[in-house]
Amino acid sequence: MSRIVVFLLLLLPQACAWWTTSSFTYLSRSSGAKLATTTSPSTFLEQRLQSKIYGDNSEGSSSSRLFPSGPGELFNVPVKTIKPSGLRLSLALVALGLQNTPVQGAWVAQQEDDGVTIFWNDGTAALNVKISYLGILFTRMGEEPSLPYQLNESNVIRELLEEIEDFGKGDGGAVEETNRLVTFDEEGWAAIENAKGMLIKDAN
């Protein structure tokens, strides 16, 4: 083996490590503001694509970005205390109430043992909310969630988060903390704020 080949082989592990850990920073073309720093090339491409579809997202905070467009876990809201069965039932009712938003038959809500799933009418995707002592986990299901799904998903998540915030605040303090369906510490409230920042701006 020539010396140069040996040299390159020795460098290979470093090159791999660089590829997996290097981060990409996506700059807004108009303002030069840093939109997002991602740790893998695929998320980087996904975000560029999203920025194309939804337009520049730089009017929010400079660190704001949207959820990736594919399936997967969107975010988890860690809880301080939780009454899982009560919260499940309440969120299932909220989801039922959202079925005809924005049009008749837009969503179909289905209660699960551990939460609720809301299916979008074009069959491309669904939003699952799992409730446990670990938190309230939002997951997008479906191989290729359509664009209308994603636009409407943001509205549904926004509605659900507003209800969850109300539960956490005990209906503006009317419900005593020990009786609340869910309570959050700073980490939980921050997770809610962060998730809201990643929603597509209300298009209605």
- Report residue 25 as tokens: 């920073």
Q: What is the DSSP letter of 169?
A: T
Question: C-alpha distances in angstroms, 91 versus 78, 95, 96, 166, 168?
Answer: 16, 6, 9, 12, 13
Transcribe 74-141 into DSSP letters.
EEEE--SEE-HHHHHHHHHHHHHHTTTSSSTTSEEEEEETTEEEEEETTSS-EEEEEEETTEEEEEEE
118 binds ligand NAG (CB under 6 A): no
One-letter amino acid identity for 108? V
Question: Which region, judged by CB under 6 A, interacts with ligand NAG, from 39-47, 129-137, 148-156, 168-176?
Answer: 148-156
Judged by CB under 6 A, the residue of 41, 60, 97, 102 near ligand NAG is: 102
Verify binding: residue 53, ligand NAG, rule CB under 6 A. Answer: no
Residue 17: both structure tokens together: 């490590």
CA atoms of 155 and 161, how far apart (whole Å)? 10
As measured in angstroms, the least distance from the Cβ of 169 to ligand NAG is: 27
Closest CB to ligand NAG among residues 98, 129: 98
**Is residue 155 part of the contact set for ligand NAG (CB under 6 A)?**
yes
Question: φ, ψ for residue 30 (rounded to 5)?
Answer: -75, -45
- The answer to whether residue 55 forms part of the interface with ligand NAG (CB under 6 A) is no
Instruction: Tell me the closest approach of the beta carbon of residue 199 to ligand NAG, in angstroms.
Output: 11
**151 binds ligand NAG per the rule CB under 6 A:** yes
CB of 73 to ligand NAG, least distance (A): 22
CB of 102 to ligand NAG, least distance (A): 5
Half-sphere exposure of 56 (CA within 13 A, CB side): 14
Choices 30-38, 68-76, 133-141, 145-153 (CB under 6 A): range interacting with ligand NAG: 145-153
Among 103, 105, 133, 174, binds ligand NAG (CB under 6 A): 103
Nearest to 80 by CA among 136, 128, 130, 129: 136
Residue 106 found at the interface with ligand NAG (CB under 6 A): yes
Residues that contact ligand NAG, how many (by CB under 6 A): 9
Residues that bind ligand NAG (CB under 6 A): 102-103, 106, 148, 151-152, 155, 203-204
